[in-house]
Amino acid sequence: NLCITKGGIASSPITWNTNGTVVVDAQQTRNYGLFLATVDYNVIDGFRIMKAKTDNVHFENGVKTILQNAWIYDSNVDGIDSTGSSNSNFHQIKNNTIFRNSGSGIGRDGSGLQLYEWRVIGNMIYANSGSTSAINVNTPSVLLQNTVFGNTGSGIYVNNTVSTNSR
């Protein structure tokens, strides 16, 4: 798996782009495909992240990381999830294709942790088999222009604690 431990700053984020096809295959033996360990201001662009034992992408703490233009699929649990204070630190999930995960596409499957103040924009999320949803967030979060279909749970689940923009 790929574990990112170095953070950037607002004026100079660290950008990880692929300039081709980069596949992170956890081969059902690693817990995560991509693990972001208390990092701030990273941009992860264009990866294929697949077959994690738990979550394909896992945020642990940190602020304002952007995950974009990735294919995230075939995990044993959730496509993208987080623990710690990263649940409320304005991460952006943009223009990704997220499919065939055994849990939720984005957010925790089941009644556990949900994501606060995340920006989920322009993603295609389908064929996830979690009991909860394709997108599982708490408010306030921003959900814009996502395409959600063919998931076994609810399409989008928003636990309304404040307010959410959804279009």
Confidence of residue 86 (pLDDT cuts 50, 70, 90): low
- What pLDDT score was predicted for residue 47? 96
Residue 85, φ and ψ in degrees, nearest 5: -75, -5
Model confidence over 53-64: pLDDT tens digits?
999 999 888 889
The string over 70-100, giving b where at least 16 C-beta atoms fall within 10 Å of a residue's C-beta and e elsewhere, is bbbbbbbbbbbbbeeebbbbebbbbbbbbbe
Cis peptide before 140 (omega within 30 of 0): yes
Answer for the pair 76, 104: CB distance below 8 angstroms, yes or no.
no
Lowest mean pLDDT among 11-15, 63-67, 84-88, 130-134: 84-88
User: What is the predicted pLDDT for the residue at 87?
Assistant: 59
CB burial of 106-119 (b: ≥16 within 10 Å; e: otherwise) equals bbbbeeeebbbbbb
pLDDT of residue 161: 59
Output the furthest CA–CA distance in the chain (Å, rounded). 41
